[in-house]
Every structure is written in structure tokens, then in C-alpha cells.
Chain A
Amino acid sequence: MQDTEKQSVLTIKQLNHSVATANGSLDILKGINLEIKDGESVAIVGASGSGKSTLLGLMAGLDQHSDGSIVLYDKALEALDEEGRAILRGQHVGFIFQSFHLLPSLTALENVMLPNELKGERSAEQRARALLASVGLAQRLTHYPRQLSGGEQQRVAIARAFASAPKILFADEPTGNLDSKNGALVEDLLFELNEKEGTTLVVVTHDPELAKRCDRQIEIFDGELKES
């Protein structure tokens, strides 16, 4: 019932991905089919080296896949060039990384304003302040990343990810670099914002707790997908 109401935001059909290496071509992903619906939260789990990050990157259009089709918000990624994919990312996609990747030369506030400024939007500051307040960093606006702890940096990264009001958020091991307390805090924030903003959430994680909180869990075995 619920499923029919919700629209599909990401559809993957017969996705294969291989890369050229010194010892010939290496197949990383094989025959992946997957559909993710609006507002869903999906956890991708699997052993190290199984291809999770690769899949995440392809879904978000960070790279060109070898074969098959990926449709993100009605756009076939294989039909877009880097320019087109970047525009699509700017419109709909948010990111959170294991190692935060804040720009060291920018303050917390400026980091959060960055996505909107890259798009040339002016009124970025209001929203950035509000977002930082909602992740509990209202007092740290002018601090630089090196002045923040890992947990704080990841919270800034979350604020940044939500800054452009993305419809879908990809997170690669967002709590991987954090202790359990900070990890839990970041996790809470993630789901809170996911609720509030209605954002679709795709999380790669090794953390069973985090995986369990998601609506669906997908496991990758050696490049092949197995839903549980």
C-alpha cells in the first residue's frame, strides 16, 4: 500500500561496473538491480572491498558506470556528461563522508554555505545558521575545521549536506571515524533531518545499529546484491 504511494527516485537496472587495472579488467559490481523510493532510508552493508563505496558513487553520479542503467530523479545518468551530472547533484543530492571533507580554509558557517554559493545563490547564510543551530553548533559558526573535534566536524558536514535541501542524501560510513557516543549523536541528527525534510537516505555502514534503523538493508557480496 505504502509502496504504491511513494514514487521511485532511483532505479538501477542490470548495473555492471568494471575498472581497468594492471592485470586486466576487474569487475567490481555485477548485475545489480535496485529501486529506492522517495523518503526511504536504505542501508548498504557488506565486507570491506565488496563494492559499497563504488555503488554509492555510481548512484550519486560521481562516476560513469560501465554498463546497465541508473535513473536518478527521472534522469538516466549514463546519458549525462560530468557537467549534467554535477547540475543534477547540485539540485537533488547531498553527501556525507567518513572523513568529513570540510574545506579547511573555510569556517563552519562558510562550509555550510558552500553548496548554495557554488550554485550562485545569495541568501545562503540564513539557512546555514539555522542548520548549524539544529546540529547544535550555533556557538561554533566562525571556527575552522581544525578547531573542531571529529564529531563536530561531522555535524558541520551534515549541516552542509542538508544546506541545499537535497532530496536524496548519500552517506559513506558517516560514523566510521567517530566513537559510539558521537556516532550516535550524528546518527540521530541524520534521521531527524531525514524525517523533517523528507529526504531519502542511502547509507553505507559497517555499524549494525545504524543499519537496523534504516527501512531497508541491502547487502553486497563480492559485487553482487542481496537484499535482506
Chain B
Amino acid sequence: MFAWRLLLREFKTGDVLTLLIALVVSVATVTGIGLFVDRLQQSFEQQSANLLGADRSVRRDDPPPQEWLTLAQQNNLETAQTVSFSSMVFGGDGLQLAQLTAVSDNYPLRGEFLTDERQFGAGQATADAPQSGEVWLSSRLASLLNVELGSEVRVGEKTLDVTRYLVRDPGSATSAFSISPRAVMSAQDLEATGVIIPGARVRYAFLYAGEADQLEQFDEILQPRLAEGERIRTPVQRGERIGNTVNRAESFLLLAGTLAVVMSGVAMALASARYVKRHLTQFAVMKTLGATPKRLVSLMVFQVSLITLMGIVLGSVLGMLVQEFIASILGSLMTAGLPSPSLEKLWLGATTAIISVVAFCSPLLARLVQVPPLRVLQPNTDFKAGSASLFVFGLVGMYVLMVVYAGGWRLPSIMMVALAAVTALVFIVGWGLFKVSRSLSKQATTGWQVGLAALHRRLVSNLFQLLVFTLIIMLSLVLVGVQGNLIQDWQAQIPEDTPNHYLFNVQELQLAPITQYTKEQGITSSEWYPMVRGRVTHINGVAAETLFPERRNEPEIVERELNLTWADQIGEGSTLVEGDFSAEGVSIEREAAIEANVGLGDELEINVGGLSYTLPITSIREVNWQSMQPNFYLILPKTVLSDYQANYVSSVFLDERSAPGFYRFMADYPTVSMLNIGELLKQVQAIIAQLANALQIVLAFILGAGALVLVASVRATLDERLEEGALLRTLGATKRVVRQALLVEFGALGLFAGLVGAAGAELSLIGLQHFVFEMAVTLHPILWLVGPLSGWVIVTIIGVFASRAVLKVPPIRLLRSI
């Protein structure tokens, strides 16, 4: 086939090859990142599912109806159930109120129990659940009851064997606030205990797990069957600590992906611009030879489709290999291997390829087809291969791509505004700089003179190149900045002695002795916060049910009973964002305020113990949840709460050394609940470590793509440079002069680009910090050093490398050029 052979020919000359490589790079980058992000996401979801014990859970006051089980089975889902209740446990020395969970045999559906054979041991993953007749006690409960492995304990009327120490129940992390000494037993023994009687406070959990599609289907079936106050819990949820971390990571990786898309777009536009430039006359010649526009269009369409297809196939394969490589490096760092990628993510690469070709190549190529045949007789016939409208087309394409990729318009919009600003900045500053450099070149030595003059001579193409370099440097700096920010942020948030145990239900009288003990033993602890439960019923006089009829979007502050506190000071781990903390009103946590769409001055009606209080919001706090300090969505004035009977809450840091003593000490206060969140913290830290590693690799990946764009953009002006080099040589310039000219030209370009890029990066980082990551805005002075320096070095190296042919070009080339 003719079109096919013509295309093969083009490969040999390199232009089409460049285009294909650009396409492969873009598809591979997007595919690689897409698949990898997908795997990470799956992995996070799995890990958080482990914390939930299933993919979904519904908690309720009654056993789940048989209908739910049947429906779940019909949808090919696995189900499990747990029943949680408080009961006295009798053993060795006496009796103890404990929080018991009776679990079905197949519990947990996700994740595992951590148990140990040593009291206060760290625990190993344990695949199965307690069998009938067995009970697993938390080390603390065992020490309170003074029993050990092999002893018998009695729950209600049923006697059970203590077979293991319970370290962590997979579901425990999400049932946070009700945990006192714990025990797990088999659901089969539940009836025999006889403790589940009408009126007893019992919580049932209906758990299910399965394939994503089926989960979604079943969620929809189940949703209308839920009773008031019930909801489907999913692993990653807003407000949850790990959820937040994952969301930020997701933003970052998407940002990274978006940058890759921008870069590949630039590379493709460059490649096709060069292709078009070199082929204008050829197409005019073909027209004079009788090729009709239709014929040329179909020729073009065929070739472009073929290249696109090849790009998609090769790029997808490469992308899969790359992400597999990243995953394998990461795999050794991670405790659990990454789940395999979902192949349907491959469409992302294919879509990118098609949109890129349509936006970046096709308008240029269309111009190629439109070239007037007269051009062969009058080569200077006015015909621009690129124009402002093409640029707009490319920008729109870029925006569409970013929106497709980010799945939203916010990040892309910020990026586009930044891009527009940078473009304007680059053109203005660049134009000025080139003007200055031209006047400088008058007094310079030959090589410098030629180099500086070249900057001004190729004003338009150099401005464009400056823009490309600037963008790449800027994007790289943004990436590095964002990454540094995120990781520092995360790590700073979890210091070594972060509290890992919460103490609840402490009575006022117990405060003094416990505080004394922790002081004596040097155990780090937070302040005591009084805690009263209450519910927000109205916002600005409108009932919550009226404001949020759809239970799904209900903000957390009206969704359930809240723990309320009062405090004289704002407390560790929180900062005031707005308003006056000491004013006589409600202080609200910032995200909760955003979620409920309330601000300073809005009035909340809060029901505490049957009485309603209407209070204005007088301050907004930012809470650092990772600080693991007791934190509260709402802090009320002391005058409102001090009449109520409060329980106190605090958090302490226990290590292996201090834990056993503290547990034994706390045995004297059996009513105090203790929650070990050390495991949760470890999980968060493990995820952060994984992310830090993943981000570094993704970063390297994108910087590689950036380098490729640099090479492509230098190649775009290569023909001109070759011509010029040959001309210089012909006019008697030595190789040294030519080299010096190149060094000066690229050096200056890189330096300028680095400078402008640093400015752009600073602006973008401020925007990202403020709008996307919602962190405090900080300045990055280091950018202003790294930007120009790296720009100078990298652009010089790549520029001189990519145009090294100019040094070797024999002057004879001028006579042979075609």
C-alpha cells in the first residue's frame, strides 16, 4: 500500500520517528502513572478495608434482616456479622466489665486479627476467628481478671477457654470511642451466654466484601433498605486520618499525571510542527503532481491513525513495563505486595493519545494539506505553519486532557491559569532579556557575540523555546516543592512520641491519681478534656433533616452525636484560623465547618442531655488530626457544659517499657476505657513511607519525560542551527567559536528559563498550597537558587548535546541542503 510505504520511508528520515517517540512517551507516562496510581489506590483501599474488616459495613441496633443476606449472596458477595456488647466477664479473681465482640466464623472479610501468645506482645497476623468455645482477651482484660492462656472465663452463662491474647481486631480502628477492655468470641456461643436480652445495648454490624462492580450494585440495593441513622461505611472516608493522607497523595499523583500530559502535549506539538515545516514544500510538490486535497487528507489520516495506533500499543506496553518496574522496586519496600493493576485503566493512555493527536498534531497537519501548490514556484508565499489559533486549539486540547485525567476542573484550571500567566511572563521578560543581550553582544568576543546575537535573531523561536524550558523547569520545581511539602508535612505530623493510647470515661476524681502516675513514670500525656455528648439539631434555625434530606451528604456534625468539650485554651494540635476562641460561642473545626457550609456568626442549636442551646459560631480552628491529641469538632463555652456530668479524655504515649506497668496501674480503674491506636499509627506511617518512595519514582519518571521534551524542542530548531553552523564555518569561524556560541545561547536560555520558572513555581506552589492541599502558605527561597542553576546546567548540557551535529556539520552542507 502506497500510504504505508510512504510512512515507512518517513521513519527512516526521523521526523515520524520523533512523532512516534513523543506519542509513545506520552502514552507510556500516562499509562504507567495511571496503572500505578490505580494499584496504589487499590492498595490503600485494601489497607483501609483491613481496618474496616470488610469492604463495607453497616452498623445497626438489630440483627441484619435475612433479606440482606440473601440479596448479598445473590450479588456474589461474602458477608460476615459481628455483635458488640458490654458484659461482665468472670474469671480467676473476679469480674470485669468488658467490651465483647461475637464474630461469625469468616470474620474478618478483609485484614486479619493480630493476636499473641505472650501477654502485652506485639502480635502476629492470625488468619482465623475464635472457634466455638474459645475467647481471646486483650492483655489488659486478662491482667484485670488475672487469668492467662488456658484459663477459663465466663460470659453470662457460657464458659469459654482463653486461647490467645487479642492485640488488634481489624474492625476496632473504626469503632474508636467505645473501647474498654476487649474480648472476641465466636457468634456461635452468643445464644448460650444468655446476655443478649431485650433492652440490652447491643450493636450489630453487617459486613460484606467482593468485586467492585458488585459492591456498587449492592450498595444501591441496600441504600433504600437502611433505617434512619444507618449508613454504609466504606473504607476510605472523609475525615478519617488515612483517608486524608490518601486524598492528598491522590491529588499529588494526579498533579504529576497532569504534568506528564502537559509535557507530552508540548513534545507532540513540537514534533508535528517540525514535521510540518519540513514537509510544506513536499506537500506542495505532491499537489503539483496531481494529488487532490481529498487524496492527501486520506493519506494523512491513514498515516496519523497508524502512528497513533502504534503509539498506543507501544506506549501501553512500555507503560505497563514501567509501572511493573516501579511496583517491583516498591514491592520490596512494602509489607503487603501491590494488587495487580486494573487493565481498564489502559483507556487513559489511549484517550490521551487520541486527544493529543487531535489537539496537537491534526491542526498543524491540516495546514499541511492546505499548503498552496504555488509554493513550489514562490517558496516565500505567505503561509504560516503555526498561528495563534493553533495555539488556542492546543491549549483547549490540553485542558480537555487534564480534565479527563484529573476527573475535575479545579486542578486543571489552576494549571491553565498558571500556564497563561507564565506564558505572558516569559514573553515579556524574554523579549526584554533578548533585547538587553543584543546590546551586550556588541562589546563581546566572537563566540559570545554570535551566541547572544542568536538569541535575538531567532526571537520568536527562542521565545517559544524559552517558554518550553521555563515550563519544564517550573513544573519540575513545583513537583519537587509539592513533594517536599507533602512528605515533610506528613512526617512532621507524626513525631516519635505521638500519643498512641486514648483514655476515655475518666471520672473527675480519677484525674489526679492518673496524672500523678504518668508524671512519676515520665509518660507523655496530653491535657484532660471534659467530654459531654450532644447533637446539633438546627443550623440558623433550620432543622438539620430539612437542610440535608439526603443522608449521604450529611455533614459529620449533624450526622451523629458528637463529643463536646470546653477549654480555656485552644490546645495542642490546633490553631485558630478565624474569630476569637475565648468568645462566648462555639468553636468549630475548619473542615467540619466547610462540610456543613457554616462560618463565623452562623448559629447552631445543640441538644445536650435533653436541653437545647442556641450559640453563634465565634471561632474556627484548624485541627491537626495526625497529632493524635484528643480533638473535637465543636468546643462550647464552659458555662453551657459545666453543669453536666462530664467524662474526661486524654491521650498518652506508651512504649514497650512503660506499657505493662501502666496497664497494671489502670487495673485499679476498671471503668476507664483505653484505646490502643499504636497499630493505626503504624499503618499510617507505613503508607507514608510507601508514598514517599512511590512519589520519588514517579517524579524521576516525569523529569525524564521533561528531558525528552527539551531534546525535542532543541531538535525543532536544529535545521536552522545546522544551516547557521555551516554558514559560520564557511565564513571561517573555528569550531571553538561555534561551540562557544552554542554554550552562550543555551546557557542564557537556561538561566532565563530557570529564573522565570522559579517565579512561576513559587506562584503555583502558593496557589496549590492554598487551594488544593489547604495548607498554610510558605515561601520557597531555595527555588530561586535551584531554578536558575539547574536551568543553566541542564539546558546547556541537553542543548549542546542535541545540537552537537552543528559542531560537526561540514560547510559543504550548505550546498547540498534539500
Which positions in A face B, CB cutoff 8 Å?
A: 53-54, 56-57, 60, 62-63, 82-83, 86-87, 89-91, 93, 95, 97, 99, 101-106, 110, 114-115, 117-120, 145-146, 160, 164, 172
Contact = CB atoms under 8 A, between A and B. Distances in A.
Interface in B375-390: 376-379
B13 A118 contact: no
A86 B13 CA distance: 27
4 smallest beta-carbon distances between A and B, as pairs: A90-B290, A86-B292, A62-B373, A115-B289
Contacts of A172: 377
Contacts of A164: 289-290
B298 to A, nearest CB: 11
Interface residues of B, number: 28
Contact of B281 (A60, A83, A101): A101
B168 interface: no
A57 B291 CA distance: 16
21 contacts: A53-B377, A57-B374, A62-B376, A82-B292, A86-B292, A87-B290, A89-B289, A97-B285, A97-B377, A101-B281, A101-B285, A104-B282, A110-B9, A115-B289, A118-B286, A118-B289, A119-B290, A145-B818, A146-B818, A164-B289, A172-B377
Interface in B281-330: 281-282, 285-295
Contacts of B657: none
B6 to A, nearest CB: 8
A97 B379 CA distance: 11
Given A63-B372, A63-B373, A117 B2 contact: yes
B552 interface: no
Contacts of B293: 82-83, 86
B602 interface: no
Contacts of B12: 105
A86 B283 CA distance: 12
B9 A106 contact: yes
Most chain A CB atoms below 10 A, which of B6, B10, B285, B293: B285
Contacts of B292: 82-83, 86-87, 90
Contacts of B291: 86, 90, 118
A2 to B, nearest CB: 30
Contact of A105 (B10, B285, B378): B10
A120 B2 contact: yes
Nearest to A86: B292
A38 to B, nearest CB: 20
Interface in B465-523: none
Contacts of A115: 289-290
Given A110-B9, A118-B2, A118-B291, 10 more contacts: A54-B378, A63-B374, A86-B293, A87-B290, A103-B282, A106-B6, A106-B9, A115-B289, A118-B295, A172-B377
Interface in B333-385: 372-374, 376-379
B380 to A, nearest CB: 11
Interface of B: 2, 6, 9-10, 12-13, 281-282, 285-295, 372-374, 376-379, 816, 818
Contacts of B282: 101, 103-104
A54 B378 CA distance: 8
Contact of B290 (A93, A102, A103, A110): A93
Contacts of B6: 106
Nearest to A81: B293
Contacts of B286: 103, 114, 118
A220 to B, nearest CB: 14
Nearest to A95: B288
Contacts of A89: 287-290
A104 B287 contact: no
Contacts of A97: 285, 376-377
A114 B291 CA distance: 10
B256 to A, nearest CB: 37
B290 A57 contact: no
A6 to B, nearest CB: 25
Given A105-B10, A120-B2, A62 B374 contact: yes
A76 to B, nearest CB: 18
Given A97-B376, A118-B295, A103 B288 contact: no
